[in-house]
């Protein structure tokens, strides 16, 4: 059974992969009216039309994107393919850049996940595990 942090990271990686592929989901209504040029609409309904959630997800994904890029290779590639596999819920995507040996590949992915968790906790994207000492 996965820990709370691992489950949270799974959800963050899925959201990040979808965001990265520009498959934006439910961004709400535009604030700019197409017929009114420079007029900006009110933000009073942003909590109900999904715009606040969209903006929060976008800023979280931008932070994850930065932290993954900072990890460098081979961790970046391992996380890219891990996120892709999490979205499709099967381990179907493989990279020629990752080890062929299953045990080595799994160890690299786990190491990448742990490194990313540490970086996301320090960046404030994830909360520190309550069970860790």
Q: What is the Cα–Cα distance from 4 to 131, expressed in whole angstroms?
A: 9
Measured between its terminal Cα atoms, the distance across the chain in Å is 20
The answer to whether residue 61 sits within a structural domain is yes
Task: Give the chain's domain count.
Answer: 1
Q: How far apart are CA 48 and CA 66, in angstroms?
A: 29
Q: Would you say residue 72 lies in a domain?
A: yes
Residue 42 counted as domain residue: no
pTM confidence score:
0.74
pLDDT in tens, 102-115: 899 999 999 999 99
The residue range of the domain holding 10 is 4-22+57-123
3-state DSSP helix/strand/coil % of the chain, to nearest 5: 60, 0, 40
Does any domain span residue 94? yes
Tokens of residue 88, six digits: 């499709």
Domain annotation covers residue 117: yes
pLDDT in tens, 20-67: 887 555 556 666 656 666 666 677 777 777 777 888 888 899 999 999
């Amino acid at each position: 059974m996965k820990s709370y942090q691992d489950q949270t990271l799974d959800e963050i990686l899925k959201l990040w992969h979808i965001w990265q592929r520009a498959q934006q989901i439910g961004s709400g209504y535009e604030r700019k009216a197409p017929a009114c040029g420079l007029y900006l609409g009110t933000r009073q309904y942003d909590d109900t039309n999904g715009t606040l959630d969209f903006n929060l997800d976008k800023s979280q994904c931008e932070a994850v994107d930065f932290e993954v890029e900072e990890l460098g290779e081979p961790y970046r590639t391992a996380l890219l393919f891990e996120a892709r596999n999490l979205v499709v819920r099967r381990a179907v995507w493989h990279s020629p850049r990752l080890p062929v040996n299953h045990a080595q590949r799994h160890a690299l992915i786990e190491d990448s996940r742990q490194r990313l968790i540490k970086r996301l906790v320090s960046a404030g994207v994830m909360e520190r595990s309550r069970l860790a000492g």
